[in-house]
């Protein structure tokens, strides 16, 4: 917080007091100054921290739990995910599918996912109508074709990962719960950017003229100054990572994500579509190719020939698709099989091919290298946000960000408590808010540019816009009530 805020607290100044009048009794016109922009940022940062910090704290703690999902999955679902012994020869997919269908004949065969590593099992994914958007995944030892178990999965995620994902995303409250995470993502970058501007300005004016004054807390400070120093210096170290989490979280949020989707459409930034129509075949009325690689059955009502899975996989391997792939049968006879790379760890692989299993030919292909830059950034950002892109290093980085954000929030609330008035006649449990009305003293050019910019942000990020408008309405109402009481 700024020196101005501390000065108000120390002198028990009521921020709602009207400005002093002129000698003739008329109210004085507030002087406009660019320094008032800082005072406005102080108030914005204060209320962003005070009101949004609970949402950020929940997001940080649930995100911290989610970063541990790879290890937790191996601990809880290790019998299904891992083989007992690594063999020398992998059995054909057709044999593994036959074993899975013998143990679980329900539903229809949706896709098969090859093992990520030599110690992992093959996943045979079944579309079962009573499971809704979930799937039944049968885990098969690729060396013995022995069924290791089954789990109800959600687009490849185990029940444990799905539970933690829902906790982080919507607190298990459905679409209504998603508002909490979008509030957190929408305001996180505001709090970070505002805090950086305030701290950099303060450090330049009051502390060492080197990076040390910005990056390291002041060990000589005590009380609220020491807490502020810890809060701000830690925030500087976390800033880039927190801005990344805010941006990537917004790309698949409920309302901001919809706006981002419009941007992708307008900028032609979507992933190239894979043409699954077989040459010479009459295409159906609806193109189901977009469902490829997502574990859906594509509308098929009966299992495809297991031998065709081997043919499709062999054709894809011959075309250079290595690593983990998902093999998906066509929706009907006029469509090709789809084999898609699903390697989310750097260097990622997302090539896809359409295969005519009758001839073994590749009829169409999309390459990761050909994806638009905006689509690449979005996809890589999501994998980084989920802790997958760089493996364990990614998980550690996210865990440190979550723990650091938790500490910054705790220090912020501690500052609020430390700044409380302690005089017997004016004591209070917490500190006063920064004074109201700084926007009236901002130069007109800043208002002319700032108001349209804020309106544009409110459109691009609807939850940010609505919550900001709500705050302004409540703040104005509270100010009006206080002015009446002091009149």
In SS3 terms, 122-184 reads as EEEEEECHHHCCCEEEEEECCCCCCEEEEEEEECCECHHHHHHHHHHHHCCCHHHHHHHHHHH
pLDDT confidence of residue 214: 85
Nearest to 180 by CA among 51, 20, 329, 282: 51
pLDDT confidence of residue 487: 66
Q: What is the helix (H) or strand (E) element at residue 323, kind and residue range?
A: none
Give the position of tokens 């302690």.
Answer: 422
3-state secondary structure of 341: strand
3-state secondary structure of 485: helix
DSSP state of 106: S
Q: What is the helix (H) or strand (E) element at residue 289, kind and residue range?
A: none
362: which strand partners?
355
What tens-digit pLDDT sequence spans the chain (487 residues)?
A: 444 444 433 333 444 344 444 555 555 556 777 767 788 888 889 888 888 999 999 999 999 999 999 999 999 999 999 999 999 999 999 999 999 999 999 999 999 999 999 999 999 999 999 999 999 999 999 999 999 999 999 999 999 999 999 999 999 999 999 999 999 999 999 999 999 988 888 766 555 456 777 888 888 889 999 999 999 999 999 999 999 999 999 999 999 999 999 999 999 999 999 999 998 777 555 544 444 444 444 445 578 999 999 999 999 999 999 999 999 999 999 999 999 999 999 999 999 999 999 999 999 999 999 999 999 999 999 999 999 999 999 999 999 999 999 999 999 999 989 988 877 667 777 777 777 777 777 888 888 898 999 999 999 999 999 999 998 888 888 878 877 877 6
Distance (Å, whole) CA 157 – CA 121: 14
β-strand pairing of 337-341 with 325-328 = antiparallel
pLDDT confidence of residue 50: 86
Distance (Å, whole) CA 221 – CA 427: 24
pLDDT confidence of residue 454: 92
pLDDT confidence of residue 13: 42
- Provide CB contacts within 8 A for 397, sequence distance 6+: 241, 390
Distance (Å, whole) CA 256 – CA 205: 37
- Is 168 within 8 Å of 63 (Cβ atoms)? yes
Long-range contacts for 35-41 (Cβ within 8 Å, ≥24 apart)?
36/438, 36/439, 36/441, 36/442, 37/438, 37/442, 37/446, 38/2, 38/197, 38/198, 38/201, 39/2, 39/4, 39/434, 39/435, 39/438, 39/441, 40/438, 40/439, 40/442, 41/194, 41/197, 41/198
């Amino acid at each position: 917080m700024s020196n101005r805020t501390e000065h108000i607290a120390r002198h028990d100044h009521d921020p709602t007091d009207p400005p002093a009048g002129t000698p003739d009794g008329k109210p004085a016109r507030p002087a406009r100054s660019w320094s008032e922009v800082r005072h406005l940022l102080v108030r914005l940062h204060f209320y962003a921290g005070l009101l949004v910090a609970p949402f950020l704290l929940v997001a940080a703690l649930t995100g911290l739990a989610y970063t541990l999902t790879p290890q937790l999955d191996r601990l809880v679902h290790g019998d299904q995910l891992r083989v007992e012994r690594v063999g020398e020869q992998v059995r054909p997919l057709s044999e593994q599918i036959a074993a899975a269908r013998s143990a679980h004949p329900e539903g229809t065969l949706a896709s098969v996912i090859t093992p990520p590593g030599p110690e992992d099992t093959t996943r045979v994914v079944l579309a079962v109508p009573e499971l809704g958007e979930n799937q039944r995944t049968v885990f098969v030892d690729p060396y013995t074709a022995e069924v290791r178990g089954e789990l109800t999965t959600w687009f490849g995620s185990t029940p444990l990962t799905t539970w933690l994902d829902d906790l982080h995303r919507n607190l298990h409250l459905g679409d209504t719960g998603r508002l909490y995470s979008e509030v957190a993502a929408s305001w996180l970058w505001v709090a970070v950017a505002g805090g950086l501007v305030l701290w950099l300005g303060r450090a330049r004016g009051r502390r060492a003229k080197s990076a040390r004054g910005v990056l390291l807390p002041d060990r000589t400070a005590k009380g609220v100054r020491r807490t502020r120093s810890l809060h701000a210096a830690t925030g500087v170290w976390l800033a880039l990572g927190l801005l990344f989490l805010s941006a990537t979280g917004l790309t698949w949020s409920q309302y901001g994500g919809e706006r981002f989707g419009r941007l992708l459409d307008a900028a032609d930034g979507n992933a190239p579509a894979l043409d699954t129509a077989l040459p010479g075949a009459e295409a159906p009325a609806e193109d189901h190719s977009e469902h490829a690689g997502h574990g859906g059955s594509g509308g098929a009502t009966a299992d495809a020939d297991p031998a065709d899975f081997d043919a499709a996989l062999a054709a894809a391997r011959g075309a250079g698709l290595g690593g983990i792939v998902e093999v998906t049968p066509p929706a009907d006879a006029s469509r090709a099989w789809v084999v898609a790379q699903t390697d989310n760890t750097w260097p990622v692989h997302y090539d896809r091919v359409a295969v005519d299993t009758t001839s073994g030919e590749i009829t169409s292909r999309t390459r990761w290298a050909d994806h638009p830059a905006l689509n690449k950034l979005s996809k890589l950002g999501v994998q980084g946000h989920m802790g997958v892109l760089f493996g364990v290093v990614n998980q550690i980085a996210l865990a440190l960000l979550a723990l650091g954000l938790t500490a910054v929030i705790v220090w912020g609330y501690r500052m609020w408590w430390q700044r409380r008035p302690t005089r017997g006649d004016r004591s209070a449990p917490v500190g006063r808010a920064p004074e109201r009305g700084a926007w009236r003293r901002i130069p007109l050019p800043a208002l002319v540019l700032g108001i349209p910019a804020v309106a544009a942000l409110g459109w691009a990020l609807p939850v940010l816009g609505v919550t900001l408008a709500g705050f302004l309405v409540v703040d104005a109402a509270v100010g009006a009530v206080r002015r009446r009481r002091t009149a």
